Structure 1
Amino acid sequence: MNATEFKQQVISLSDRLYPMVTRMLGNAETAEDAIQEIMIRLWDKRRQLKHHPNVPGFVFLTARNYCLDLLKKSKPVFDDASENHITNVTENNGPAELEWKELNVLVQDIIKTLPDQQLEIITLRDLDGLEYKEIEGITNLNVGHIRVLLSRARKQVALELKKIYSYEGKH
């Protein structure tokens, strides 16, 4: 893989890596440093990448493993970058924005209670916006199983939200 191919196939993914790495490491500055280190590691493996059947999956798997290694070495400081990602979606002001932020916190709290695989899949798909093939490369699960886990996770989130809102409605 030459420099041009590397830029097109690997470096072009760095914008999509950033939310995942930031969420995992909990700090924007650490995430930027990590992405640079990940790109250096991938550059060193460029000959292997040229023949890899799923380059994006390999890139995301490398990033995930690098973040997990960093987390094992030190305890992270969280500033909850995923909240910024979700709340920036809306431009509403006033009560609607407050409701959106409250819902966001509720959903994040519910997601944190999901089983590990469901938590990872819903985070990679819905928060990080990865494609099923990319998630397959990261988790080594087949796409069908990923879809099942994602469906179960979403149903659990919906069920918990329904419980919360139907409880609040009885007052």
Structure 2
Amino acid sequence: MTKQDFKHSVFSLSELLFPMVSRMLGSTSKAEDAIQEIMIKLWHKRKQLSKHPNIKGFVVLTARNYCLDLLRKKKVLLEDSSDVLKLVKSTNEHLNLEWEELNSHISTILKTIPEQQKEVFIMRDLDGFDFEEIAAALQIKTSHVRVLLSRARKQISITLEKTYSYERGKY
């Protein structure tokens, strides 16, 4: 793999990786450093990488594994990822309060669902990864990713419905 090929097929994915790495490590500065280290590792493996059938999936998997290794080695405490859930900023203060409340509810719900479902939900709905990329990163089948995502969304939906139905006086 030439320098130009690497730049086009691997380095261009760094923007795609940044939200996931930032969320996993808990800060943007740590994520920037991690992305650099990941790209260096991938550069050293460029000969094997050129033969890989799913380069994008391999890059995502490498980034995820690097972050997990880093967290294990340094025993870094994850900061609350609620900043990831900031969905909408508006000039309307009332609307901002509603979004903050919704973000708070979703953060609480995410703490209660199984880890794999939470990871799939965040990777798909917040980080914007494709099913194939998630499957490659988690080393599971694409159909299993769809099942996990469906279950996570269903659990979030049920819990939110109970919360808001209760607030409206239906329960």
TM-score (norm 2): 0.93
| Runs of 4+ with deviation above 6 angstroms | none
Hey, what does 1:105 align to over in structure 2?
Answer: 104
Hey, what does 1:27 align to over in structure 2?
Answer: 27
Hey, what does 1:134 align to over in structure 2?
Answer: 133
Matched, 1:70 2:61: no
1:79-98 correspondence to structure 2 within 5 Å: 79-80=79-80, 82-87=81-86, 89-98=88-97
d(CA) in 1 for partners of 2:49 and 2:90? 40
What are the ranges of 5 or more consecutive residues in structure 2 without an aligned counterpart?
Answer: none
Contact 1:121 1:150 in 2 (8 A): yes
The Cα offsets for residues 53-102 of structure 1, whole Å up to 9 and x where unpaired, read as 1111100100000000111012325444x433432643343110111111
What are the ranges of 5 or more consecutive residues in structure 1 without an aligned counterpart?
Answer: none
% same residue:
54
**1:112, distance to aligned residue in structure 2 (A):** 1.9
Hey, what does 1:163 align to over in structure 2?
Answer: 162
Total equivalences in the alignment: 170
d(CA) in 1 for partners of 2:158 and 2:91? 26
Hey, what does 1:151 align to over in structure 2?
Answer: 150
Contact 2:22 2:28 in 1 (8 A): yes
Hey, what does 2:114 align to over in structure 1?
Answer: 115
Contact 2:17 2:63 in 1 (8 A): yes
Q: Aligned AA for 2:134?
A: I
Contact 2:18 2:32 in 1 (8 A): yes
Q: Aligned AA for 2:85?
A: I
Q: Report the secondary structure of 1:129's partner residue.
A: coil
Structure 1 vs Structure 2 CA RMSD: 1.6
Bigger relative contact order, structure 1 or 2 (CA pairs below 8 A, ≥6 apart): 1
TM-score (norm 1): 0.93
Hey, what does 2:123 align to over in structure 1?
Answer: 124
d(CA) in 1 for partners of 2:164 and 2:44? 51
Hey, what does 2:44 align to over in structure 1?
Answer: 44
